[in-house]
Amino acid sequence: MDERPRTLLKTLVAQRHWRYGDFVGHFTRTAEKVIKKGTANPTISEAQFRRWTAGTIRTLPGPDACRVLEEMFGVSAAALFQAPPSPESPAPAFSLKDEIDMTARDASSEAGAAASASISDTTLDQLRDDVAVLARRYNTFSAFEVLQTARKLREEAEEHRDRTQVPVQQQDLLIIAGQACALLSAAAFDLGSLDGATRLARAAALYGETARFTPLRAFAGGALAYIAYFSGRPAEAAQIAQRAQMLSGLGEIAHRRLAAIEARAHGYRGDAAAAQQAVDASRREGRGETDDLHDGVAGEFGFTDERLAMSNASTCLLLGDGEQAEAAARTALELATNNPRALRSARVVGGAAADLAASRLLRDDLDGAGDALERLWAVPGEQRATGLLTRTARVRRALTDQRFRRTPLADEISDRLEHFSRLAAQHQLGARAGALAAMEG
């Protein structure tokens, strides 16, 4: 019986030891090279492959399929679907050189496709640096500037994430987008938009969860706890902060920040024992653990000694402990003012000054409160954010106490504080600092 292949195509496929999967892979890659872009590439089913090699077709395939086959085998389509030459006139011999050349072309094409599915490491490094610079210089920008810049950075990270299929780059871009979201949340909070800040903090937490980056989840958890506290939900704030502290992979600064936020929540609830325990935890020296966000990027993601002292001063004020509050506020003010001017945070200086004034009013020291506020008046309008305005509102309420009524100095300070709040950037959103600060009293 004559067992010779009925088509030259079958002979050439057999010489290459191709099965259907091998054939269709080469066919598809060749079609991508020879068929004009924008035109649908021909596809080959397994049944069609069997008919081609068996020689049971009556007419040649379509023009595009013929072009692909001719490119693959270097033989006309008509010859491919005819019987192979007789032994006296053999079919073109299998060429090792041609096979190597074709393999090289395929490898080059596939490598190019892989390269187009990634982004430059330089682009990734620049995005990472841009987010870090914004975090580290947060206090030198207005909240509006942070909002605009961080929004662009998040959009860029998402655009690049659509362009890469490299898992490591995908993870890095998720982290960058999440950090931008966290900064957006901070800016929204500073502008008095608590709803917007909440949504953005939750988005940052989700980015952190997707990227398996627990420091970002912890930072976002702290932001959500802080927002809950300012929204008059201190029990919820304490629970969120406690859950965030249970995450693994956090450094000492992350734990210190979360403990300070938890202390504020307990202070608002009047739980002096729990508040003091959290304050002690925030001051406790750890074993020097660090993480890539709170320590590596730092800036707004960090928690400096002056911010810790200022936060604890507010906790002590909530508990009515003027002595501890004054000591903590003085520490915060000294640390902040000792920083180089370029690194000095006007918000921290102003907040510590307001807390120092409030602590002195607890001791009936009106003149001392007036002296403390001298550092407050210089804070620019664009830096008068939510946290600072709540502190000044607390001082204004203290001045309405019977002890200070009809006192010219108390009236003067109260008027200046009202003017200070009226010129805050936050009021451009229509936020009401007094309402936000009600729970600080």
Q: What is the pLDDT of residues 124-166, one digit of tens each?
A: 999 999 999 999 999 888 899 999 999 999 999 999 998 898 8
The pLDDT, as a whole number, for residue 433 is 41
The answer, as to whether pTM is greater than 0.75, is no
Q: Residue 189: pLDDT band by 50, 70, 90 thresholds?
A: very high
The pLDDT, as a whole number, for residue 111 is 55
The pLDDT, as a whole number, for residue 58 is 82
The pLDDT, as a whole number, for residue 101 is 59
What is the number of residues in the chain?
Answer: 441
Q: How far apart are CA 164 and CA 166, in angstroms?
A: 6
The pLDDT, as a whole number, for residue 73 is 86
- 369: amino acid identity, one letter: A
Of 71-75, 220-224, 333-337, the poorest mean pLDDT is in: 71-75
Paired tokens of 218: 């912890």
Cα-trace Rg, the chain: 35
The pLDDT, as a whole number, for residue 91 is 47
The pLDDT, as a whole number, for residue 431 is 45
The pLDDT, as a whole number, for residue 253 is 97
- 330: amino acid identity, one letter: R
Q: How far apart are CA 161 and CA 124, in angstroms?
A: 10
Q: How far apart are CA 428 and CA 436, in angstroms?
A: 15
The pLDDT, as a whole number, for residue 270 is 92
Query: Domain 304-441: which topology?
Result: 1.25.40
Q: Is the pLDDT of residue 1 over 50?
A: no
Q: How far apart are CA 159 and CA 176, in angstroms?
A: 12
The pLDDT, as a whole number, for residue 47 is 85
24-45 mean pLDDT: 82
For residue 231, give the 3-state DSSP assignment: coil
Of 114-123, 251-260, 271-280, 394-403, the poorest mean pLDDT is in: 114-123
Q: Where in the chain is the domain with CATH 1.25.40?
A: 304-441
Q: Residue 79: pLDDT band by 50, 70, 90 thresholds?
A: confident
The pLDDT, as a whole number, for residue 39 is 73
The pLDDT, as a whole number, for residue 421 is 87
Q: Is the pLDDT of residue 31 over 70?
A: yes
Of 113-117, 216-220, 437-441, the poorest mean pLDDT is in: 437-441
Q: Residue 297: pLDDT band by 50, 70, 90 thresholds?
A: very high
Q: Is the pLDDT of residue 225 over 90?
A: yes
Q: Residue 222: pLDDT band by 50, 70, 90 thresholds?
A: very high
The pLDDT, as a whole number, for residue 409 is 94
Q: What is the DSSP string of 409-423?
A: HHHHHHHHHHHHHHT
pLDDT tens-digit readout, 345-379 = 888 999 999 999 999 999 999 999 999 999 999 89
The C-alpha torsion from 340 through 341 and 343 to 349, rounded to 10°, is 110
Q: What is the DSSP string of 9-58?
A: HHHHHHHTT--HHHHHHHHHHHHHHHSPTTSPPP---HHHHHHHHHT--S
Average pLDDT, the chain: 87
Q: How far apart are CA 174 and CA 168, in angstroms?
A: 10
The pLDDT, as a whole number, for residue 425 is 60
Helix 46-54 / helix 8-15 crossing angle, nearest 10 deg: 110
Greater confidence (117 vs 382) lies with 382
